Amino acid sequence: MRTAWGRAWKLPDGLEDSLGPGEEFADVWFGIDDSYVAQTMGGKLQWKLHGNYGSLGQTLKYATKEIKALGLNVADARSYVLVWEDGTSQCNPGACRLSKSDVQEWAGYLF
C-alpha cells in the first residue's frame, strides 16, 4: 500500500486482496501480534484481532457508524480506545489506567 505522501507499507497477508473493485482503504490501525482494523473509503470495516483487544471484535461486527479514531495499544493486548464519527466513544483501558472520562475528554478534542 502506498500513502498519499508516497510512503509504502506492507499490509498483513490477504488484506489488500479483500478489497472489492474500486475500493480503497481510508484508515488502517495496527496492534499487537499483527492485529489490525481497516476501514474503506466507504466505511466498510475489516479486522483481524487474533484474540486481542477484548470485546472490540464484537463491537466492530455490529458497527453501524464509521470510526473517527482508534488506538490499539501495542504494549497491552487488552487495551484500546475507539471514537465513532458521531463523537461517542468506548474503551478498554487495560494497563493504561485511563478512565472513561479521560477518553471522553480526549474524544472531544477530535471534533
Convert the pLDDT of each residue in 54-104 to its tens digit.
899 999 999 999 999 999 989 889 989 899 999 888 888 777 676 767 766
| pLDDT higher at 110 or 24 | 24
Residue 14 lies in a domain: no
Number of domains in the chain: 1
Residue 13 lies in a domain: no
Question: Comparing 19-23, 29-33, 64-68, 101-105, which segment has the lowest mean pLDDT?
Answer: 101-105
Residue 15 phi, psi (nearest 5): -65, -50
Query: How far lies 70's CA from each of 6, 31, 53, 92, 110, in Å?
Result: 23, 10, 12, 12, 12
Q: What is the pLDDT of residue 44?
A: 92
Rounded CA-CA distance 60/35 in Å is 14
Residue 4 lies in a domain: no
Q: What is the pLDDT of residue 111?
A: 58
Residue 16 lies in a domain: no
| pLDDT higher at 104 or 28 | 28
* Alpha-carbon torsion, ordered 71, 83, 36, 59, to 10 deg: 130
Q: Other C-beta atoms within 10 Å of 87: how many?
A: 12
Domain that holds residue 30: 22-108
